[in-house]
Amino acid sequence: MAESFERARTLILEKVFPLSVEAVGLLAAAGRVLAEAIESPCEMPHWDNSAMDGFAVREEDCRPGARLTVSGYIPAGGTADGIRVTPGEAVKIMTGAPVPAGGHAVIPIEDTEADGETVVIKGSPRVGDHIRFRGEDIQQGELVMTAGSVLRPAGISLLASFGFTTVNVYRRPKVAILSTGDELVEPGEVVGPGQIVNSNAYSLAAAVKEAGGVPVLLGIARDTRESLKEKLAVGLQADVLITSAGVSMGDRDLVCEMLQDAGVERLFWKVDIKPGRPTAFGLKESTPVFSLPGNPVSAIVTFEEFVRPALLKMQGYHNVIKPFVKARLLEAVKKRPGRVQFLRVSVTENGDRLEATSSGDQNTGILLTMLRANGIAVLPAEREKIEAGEEVDVHLLSKEKL
Ligand code: AMP
Ligand code: MG
């Protein structure tokens, strides 16, 4: 029996879990998911420092027009050791430099007139002006990021500020990709009669990379038990195995049988979707195995809807299902009730709303309409027809054409 689209995705997401944790350098950590909580080892800033290039002054000396003696200079990277702001004096200070003892405020250069020896104050600074106080940003021991946070540039900035050079994140899954079929040749090889090029391995590898995984290309298994057995055994060493083709009802569609033989427990093997009905999912112990259809469009669409969320969950992400955007479908679409239909669409902005049009021939054999689509409209199973002008849910594939 075929599973519904939602149930199939739930079954998958119930069975995959974040992988082990690895320590990586800060650059490699960008965009990854933290596997540890981060507490600040220190106060930030470390000491009171100037937020402006200017003069450290005492509040009571600073009536507008007051002339003060410049008694010292603290550049960025300098220290305030032995320097004190005494009555009638100002200390020249650069942004980020430590505020000297006795300095109540920093008055920015643009609010002064200086001649080197003396400085005339134009404003009337109040205590604390233009000083970043020790610990005002972050307290020592403060929890700044929880495990499960995605490391964005600000997070990387904090880790660097704390002096960390590595951080613990969830590992990226190694994803073995196996194409199956007697008709396949590799790109660059002579394409004989009846043969086609193994493009799925490359589209799927590209999709794996886009989803943060590490693709491992296993090449082609022929439609024989021996060939499949050998290649599947290698593929099952990876964190995830994806096969394409050989799961329909054809004489030589042996993938399901050979997966079972290899000890893969099947959770479903058909989904009520179009395209992509012959999609299967199973587990060998904790290793997920996706058997995607051979048709290049179906392989891309089923990857997007089923494999991508699983790869994200394995990397520790929480929001693994792409949020829908609402777009107004500009033409009526007839569909087969009982199956979710993935309509390849081109989404454009029109004022403050999005509009979607079919990117062309929706036959599963037509790759060009996949290429020209920047979204997949997910049309509900129960519907028979979507009227022109109705809002539909779209998974954006790219923001490029918006
Ligand atoms: P199958 O699921 O084996 O019946 O294959 C369905 C369709 O997908 C057939 O037209 C195959 O030639 C095509 N196909 C299978 N594998 C690949 C592949 N690796 N790259 C491109 N097309 C493929
Ligand atoms: Mg085949």
Query: Each residue of 114-151: b (16+ CB within 10 Å) or e?
Result: beeeebebeeebeeebbbbeebeebeeeeebbebeebb
Residue 377's pLDDT is 98
Residue 157's pLDDT is 98
- The rounded Å distance from CA 264 to ligand 1 centre is 22
Give the ligand 1 atom nearest the CA of 201. 19
Beta bridge partners, 124, equal none
The dihedral through the CA atoms of 349, 351, 356, 360 has a sign that is negative
Residue 252's pLDDT is 80
Ligand nearest to the CA of 252: 2
Pocket probe mutation, ligand 1, options 254, 257, 295, 364, max atoms within 8 Å of Cβ: 295
- The rounded Å distance from CA 181 to ligand 2 centre is 5
Residue 399's pLDDT is 77
Q: pLDDT exceeding 90 applies to what percent of the chain?
A: 95
Pocket probe mutation, ligand 1, options 186, 191, 195, 196, max atoms within 8 Å of Cβ: 196
For residue 114 the two structure tokens come to: 């200086």
Ligand nearest to the CA of 200: 1
The yes-or-no verdict on residue 193 having pLDDT over 80 is yes
DSSP state of 324: P
Name the CATH superfamily for 22-41+142-170.
Molybdopterin biosynthesis moea protein, domain 2 (3.90.105.10)
Give the predicted TM-score (pTM) of the model. Answer: 0.94
Instruction: In the chain, list all ranges with CATH 2.170.190.11.
Output: 49-132
pLDDT tens by residue, 30-48: 999 999 999 999 999 999 9
Ion ligand 2 — residues with CB < 5 Å: 181, 245-246
The yes-or-no verdict on residue 317 having pLDDT over 90 is yes
- The rounded Å distance from CA 252 to ligand 2 centre is 7
Instruction: In the chain, list all ranges with CATH 3.90.105.10.
Output: 22-41+142-170
Confidence class of residue 195 from pLDDT cuts 50, 70 and 90?
A: very high
Q: How far is CA 195 from the centre of its chain?
A: 37
Ligand nearest to the CA of 291: 1
pLDDT tens by residue, 346-398: 999 999 999 999 999 999 989 999 999 999 999 999 999 999 999 999 999 98
Residue 400's pLDDT is 74
> How confident is the model over 265-292, as a mean pLDDT?
97
Q: Can you list the pairs that 158-163 forms with residues at least 24 positions away whose Cβ atoms lie under 8 Å?
A: 158/38, 158/40, 159/26, 159/29, 159/38, 160/26, 161/44, 162/38, 162/40, 162/41, 162/42, 163/41
From the options 2.60.40.3470, 3.40.980.10, 3.30.1280.10, 3.40.50.2300, give the CATH code of 5-19+172-314: 3.40.980.10
Domain 49-132 in this protein, CATH class: mainly beta
- The rounded Å distance from CA 159 to ligand 1 centre is 47
Tokens 């969320």 correspond to what residue? Answer: 309
Q: Can you list the pairs that 26-30 forms with residues at least 24 positions away whose Cβ atoms lie under 8 Å?
A: 26/156, 26/159, 26/160, 26/164, 26/165, 26/166, 26/167, 29/151, 29/156, 29/159, 29/166, 29/167, 29/169, 30/151, 30/152, 30/153, 30/156
Residue 250's pLDDT is 76
Residue 258's pLDDT is 96
- Give me the chain's average pLDDT, please: 96
> How confident is the model over 66-75, as a mean pLDDT?
97
Q: pLDDT exceeding 70 applies to what percent of the chain?
A: 100
The hierarchical CATH code for the domain 324-396 is 2.40.340.10
Contact 105, 48 (CB under 8 A): no
DSSP state of 264: P
CA atoms within 13 A of residue 180's CA, in its CB half-sphere: 33
Residue 402's pLDDT is 58
Confidence class of residue 401 from pLDDT cuts 50, 70 and 90?
A: low
Instruction: In the chain, list all ranges with CATH 2.40.340.10.
Output: 324-396
- The rounded Å distance from CA 272 to ligand 2 centre is 21
Radius of gyration of the chain (CA): 31
> How confident is the model over 91-112, as a mean pLDDT?
97
Residue 352's pLDDT is 95
